[in-house]
Chain A
Amino acid sequence: MIRNYIKTAWRSLLKNKGFTVINILGLTVGLSAVLIIALWVQNQFRQDNFYSNQENIYKVLNRYIVDMSTGQSTPYPAADALTENHPEVEYAARVYRHWERLLTFKSDGIKAYGNEVDPDFLKIFDFPAIKGMREDALSNKTNIVVTEGLAKSLFGDEDPLGKTITLDNEKSYTVVSVLNDLPTYTDFSFNYLIPMDRDPSNWNTMSYSTYVSLRPGVDIEVFNEKIEPMVRTHAPDLKNNVNFLYPLSRIHLYSKFENGVAVGGKISQVRLIAGIGLLILCIACINFVNLSTAKGQKRAKEVGVRKVIGASKGNLVGQFLTESVIISVVAGILAIVASFLALPLFNQMLDKPLSFVTTGPLVWLILLGFVIFTGLLAGVYPAFVLSAFQPIKTLKNIKVSKKSNFSMRSVLVVLQFGSAVVLIIATLIIHLQIQYASDRDVGYDTSQLLEVALEGKAVENYETIKNELLNSGFVTHITRTGQTITQNNSSSWGNFSWQGATPEQSKKTTFFLTNAQSDFIETVGLKLVDGRDLDYPRLPSDNRAILLNEAAIKTMGLENPIGQLFNWGDEVYTIVGVFSDFVSGSPYSEVEPMLVFSWIDNLKNMIIRTDNQQAMNKTLAFIESTVKKFDPAYPFNYRFVDERYAEKFKNQQQTASLSLTFSLLAIFISCLGLFGLISYITETRIKEIGIRKVLGASVSGIASMLSIDFVKLVFVAIIIATPIAWWAMNKWLADFAYRIDIQWWMFVLAGLLAIGIALFTVSWQAIRAAVANPVDSLRDE
């Protein structure tokens, strides 16, 4: 029987080529989207969820009772305190992330990120080693563990074991182990590991991540009660601190906390994208249902004959389901090919490069499940509709599908276009919001501005470098800061005071902190609102001077800020200048209060405004040669500020390109379906069209008669989609302080677009049917 089903299904699919192609194309696109999304979702769920001792690995977190925030950093001694005082802890390891460091082997140097870790790190996390020792690799303070990739770039094809690497031209390490390159599904990112070697006494600085593995069978809730006061008993300053262990496997997806309770995080993006994938698959399934029932009239005779000669309803349902499963299997195979081809494109959009090679059998099982499920889902409604035809009517050529105004088919078309319209509106609003934020006045001229990293000896020789560059004519202004001006990496609150500050203000006001030397305002190109720029070391007293931005002055409520004192704990500073606000944090947030100190330590970021009359390549070459005179060992490391600023939009750009891609796919599949539907409908109404033409109907009259039904459906879809899109996009926009308002014309535009696309799709077939010679359609009566 099943052979008979397959044979008949296959021939019927070959016979109705248009129908088959439209269905397979639609389902292929839908399944490809699902496959790629499944790959991404799996990658997200696998994130740090693959170690052999997984269920016992935790990260030490802390929450602050005052503002209910939850942090992931811990003080240095916490790890030792955990192992010494709690027998439940099997291993504990600190991780300190290095910024880029210079690694040199013989005379070749490269910069790489690495971690400083406790020896037990490799006992907790079983990253596989390809060479050398593994678990005890970090027991010696001069050992270094490198990844395969780093080993290749440092040593080429030579055996890395036993080689000596120098870190930042200071300390030497011996390679004792080579690890596999890290998989994409871990939040760790290091190219090398060296043993932890830092000041052990400080309970007050939270700079370390601490991971523990507990012994099997420990009740985590009971244990968390025990360690709750750990930090605050040692550090009286942190009296509001509460500690707890959180499963490592949940950090990636569920790391948004409210009062120490996980309330989501990345998981919401995962759910959103998975939802969109399913939506696209549904749109593709709807095509199948609509086209199958639409062409039911054509197959009615076959159903009748089969029933007359003995087919039961079950036989027919089986036959039609076989047909839809064959379509979805073919689509599934094509989807695998299509996803392979499309994957590089998606990898550009997503932050994690995905690969089919490293994926386990799960993704393939999911695909297989979806293929069969889709086949059944898409086939089941048509199968029951078609198999319910009464043979006597079908054999007499009585119309079996009644033409009603409110059919299942209309509902499905509305559903399909409604989804497409929601996606169009979402895409439009996301793009407008990003455009709005990127058009925002940054507050300074980002062009012609460079940031150059100062390393090694160059730090000490900054003044010489500065003078040489200024005298060269390539450069108009120079300053140096503790960090890039395109980011807010440091902030503090709770310990500031100034004249007239209420206790509430002192406690709650958050300041972004940075430090700079002289010429900060002028080089960056900010407006000096009041006072003067920093001028250290020319004015030695300026080591106690600070600059504030306008937002700070406003928040603090200062009337005449210049000369006023500003306290941070016991330290007293004088306000010497006020500069105009500029965007350093999120381009979607209001500008926050900002403080610029003139501490001279750690001023490793040189900011250079270049002369726009000079060619940039010559300017860069000159700067490089000047800096390299003082630190030849370091690679010349520079960034353009405008490029760096543009990176702020990367995350939302990713959401935008994803929504654009998925909207286009959804519209494409919907149009395929509409095209198929109008083709069948003009076919079944061909006689009516012929009669109308004989009676004098015009081509345009007939074309619009055929199109208007669909336009009506799309119109209903727009009406339904509008409030849904409005609600969803309002929710999305609520995350941005600096945002656009949703306007009525956005919905009108999306609606017109949808109607335009629908009209374009149906009109071609409608016009073709309308210009056909009526004699042809009436003759075969």
Chain B
Amino acid sequence: MIKITNLQKYYRTEEVETVALNNLTIHVKEGEFVAVMGPSGCGKSTLLNIVGLLDDLDEGSYLFNNIEVAKFNERKRSDLRKHNIGFVFQSFNLIDELTVFENVELPLVYTNVPAAERKRRVEEVLEKVQIMHRRNHFPQQLSGGQQQRVAVARAVVNTPKLILADEPTGNLDSNNGNEVMHLLTELNEAGTTIVMVTHSEHDARFADRVIRMLDGQVIMETTTF
């Protein structure tokens, strides 16, 4: 599903150029659950952003479902993103002005799904993450674990083929963290590909494969089962 070859990514400021990712090659198969680990600043979040088409790459090739997307413009990327990729962030990133229901509904609004269909799908996914009873609450009224469950619901409501999770349990206690990890595992078992950046060895054990990075390069890959 994801074939990234010889990826180079630099960050430039006025005087300094920093190499963020250096000649990196990664393949992820459909249905896989991959964890990316490494110390702070090793480039794992940058990698995730490039995979999620939020950031562009400077050199190399990126095939998404066998389509070269490295040179896609903003509009095409946005199109591909909204139909294929769901995001889960460490800090949840829910919109404070919208209720639980509306937050989850938003991706469907942007893909012009009719209202009745939206309602059905949002309710279905809220049931799945067991937050249906809080559907009319605003994010500030929920606990961290509940917020992350909403964020997961929002990520999957469009039934994306790929979910990208950036330290999804980073802001949660272990109970809530485990709940979210189980949720992701379930989604993976149902066929969704997941790439997750994490610091936690415990979380990484839920993945099929762990990629370890250092200074913008992959230094080790392990299969966990």
Interface residues of A (CB under 8 A from B): 1, 4, 7-8, 11-12, 15, 301-302, 304-313, 315, 391-392, 395
Q: What would be 17 A-B contacts, judged by CB atoms less than 8 Å apart?
A: A1-B112, A4-B106, A4-B109, A7-B102, A11-B97, A301-B93, A302-B96, A305-B93, A305-B94, A306-B106, A306-B110, A308-B87, A309-B87, A309-B107, A310-B111, A310-B158, A312-B75
Structural contact, B96 and A15, CB atoms closer than 8 A: yes
By a CB distance below 8 angstroms, the chain B residues around A307 are 78
Task: Answer yes or no: B26 CB below 8 A from chain A CBs.
Answer: no
Question: Digit string of B77-109 for contact with A (CB within 8 Å is 1, else 0)?
Answer: 010011000110100011111100010001101
10 other A-B residue contacts (CB within 8 Å) besides A309-B154, A395-B93: A302-B96, A305-B94, A306-B110, A310-B78, A310-B81, A310-B111, A312-B75, A312-B78, A315-B110, A392-B49
Chain B nearest CB, measured from A261 CB (Å): 58
Task: Answer yes or no: B32 CB below 8 A from chain A CBs.
Answer: no
Structural contact, B89 and A395, CB atoms closer than 8 A: yes
By a CB distance below 8 angstroms, the chain B residues around A305 are 93-95
Chain B nearest CB, measured from A397 CB (Å): 9
Number of A-B contacts (CB under 8 A): 59
> Cα distance A4–B52 when bound, in Å?
26
By a CB distance below 8 angstroms, the chain B residues around A395 are 89, 93
Task: Answer yes or no: B215 CB below 8 A from chain A CBs.
Answer: no
Structural contact, A312 and B110, CB atoms closer than 8 A: yes
Structural contact, B82 and A310, CB atoms closer than 8 A: yes
By a CB distance below 8 angstroms, the chain B residues around A313 are 74
Task: Answer yes or no: B142 CB below 8 A from chain A CBs.
Answer: no
> Cα distance A12–B55 when bound, in Å?
28
Least CB separation from B166: chain A residue: A395
By a CB distance below 8 angstroms, the chain B residues around A11 are 97-98
Q: Which of B47-86 contact A (CB under 8 A)?
A: 49, 52, 54-55, 74-75, 78, 81-82, 86
Least CB separation from A16: chain B residue: B97
Structural contact, B97 and A8, CB atoms closer than 8 A: yes
Least CB separation from B75: chain A residue: A312
> Cα distance A307–B96 when bound, in Å?
15
**What are the 5 closest A-B residue pairs judged by CB atoms, nearest first?**
A310-B82, A310-B110, A11-B97, A309-B107, A305-B93
Least CB separation from A305: chain B residue: B93
Given contacts A308-B81, A309-B106, A312-B75, contact A391 B54 (CB under 8 A): yes
Least CB separation from A302: chain B residue: B95
Per DSSP, chain B at the interface is: mixed
Structural contact, A8 and B98, CB atoms closer than 8 A: yes
By a CB distance below 8 angstroms, the chain B residues around A309 are 82, 86-87, 106-107, 110, 154
Least CB separation from B91: chain A residue: A395
Least CB separation from B106: chain A residue: A309
Structural contact, B95 and A306, CB atoms closer than 8 A: yes
Chain B nearest CB, measured from A305 CB (Å): 5
Least CB separation from B138: chain A residue: A11
> Cα distance A15–B138 when bound, in Å?
13
Residue from A8, A311, A312, A392 within 8 A of B54 (CB atoms): A392
> Cα distance A311–B74 when bound, in Å?
11
> Cα distance A307–B81 when bound, in Å?
10
By a CB distance below 8 angstroms, the chain B residues around A12 are 97
> Cα distance A358–B196 when bound, in Å?
69
Structural contact, A392 and B55, CB atoms closer than 8 A: yes
By a CB distance below 8 angstroms, the chain A residues around B93 are 301, 304-305, 308, 395
> Cα distance A15–B140 when bound, in Å?
13
> Cα distance A131–B94 when bound, in Å?
72
Least CB separation from B93: chain A residue: A305
> Cα distance A37–B96 when bound, in Å?
42
> Cα distance A8–B96 when bound, in Å?
10
Structural contact, B98 and A1, CB atoms closer than 8 A: no
> Cα distance A12–B110 when bound, in Å?
19
Chain B nearest CB, measured from A16 CB (Å): 10
> Cα distance A211–B54 when bound, in Å?
76
Least CB separation from A11: chain B residue: B97
Chain A nearest CB, measured from B165 CB (Å): 13
> Cα distance A313–B74 when bound, in Å?
9
Least CB separation from B82: chain A residue: A310
> Cα distance A311–B110 when bound, in Å?
6
By a CB distance below 8 angstroms, the chain A residues around B106 are 4, 306, 309-310
Structural contact, B107 and A310, CB atoms closer than 8 A: yes
> Cα distance A71–B94 when bound, in Å?
75
By a CB distance below 8 angstroms, the chain B residues around A4 are 102, 106, 109
Q: Which of B49, B87, B94, B110 has the largest count of A CB atoms less than 10 A from its CB? A: B110
By a CB distance below 8 angstroms, the chain A residues around B81 are 308, 310
Chain B nearest CB, measured from A394 CB (Å): 10
By a CB distance below 8 angstroms, the chain B residues around A308 are 52, 54, 81, 87, 93
Chain B nearest CB, measured from A296 CB (Å): 16
> Cα distance A566–B21 when bound, in Å?
106
> Cα distance A392–B82 when bound, in Å?
15
Chain B nearest CB, measured from A540 CB (Å): 96
Chain B nearest CB, measured from A722 CB (Å): 38
Structural contact, A1 and B109, CB atoms closer than 8 A: yes
By a CB distance below 8 angstroms, the chain A residues around B97 are 8, 11-12, 15, 302
> Cα distance A4–B89 when bound, in Å?
24
By a CB distance below 8 angstroms, the chain A residues around B52 are 308
> Cα distance A315–B74 when bound, in Å?
14
By a CB distance below 8 angstroms, the chain A residues around B102 are 4, 7
Least CB separation from A8: chain B residue: B97
Question: Digit string of B145-160 for contact with A (CB within 8 Å is 1, else 0)?
Answer: 0000000001000100
By a CB distance below 8 angstroms, the chain B residues around A15 are 96-97
> Cα distance A309–B105 when bound, in Å?
10
> Cα distance A8–B102 when bound, in Å?
10
> Cα distance A315–B54 when bound, in Å?
17
> Cα distance A305–B78 when bound, in Å?
12
> Cα distance A334–B154 when bound, in Å?
39
Q: Which of A11, A305, A315 has the largest count of B CB atoms less than 10 A from its CB? A: A305
Chain B nearest CB, measured from A687 CB (Å): 18
By a CB distance below 8 angstroms, the chain A residues around B86 are 309
By a CB distance below 8 angstroms, the chain A residues around B82 are 309-310
Q: Which of B112-131 contact A (CB under 8 A)?
A: 112
Chain A nearest CB, measured from B164 CB (Å): 10
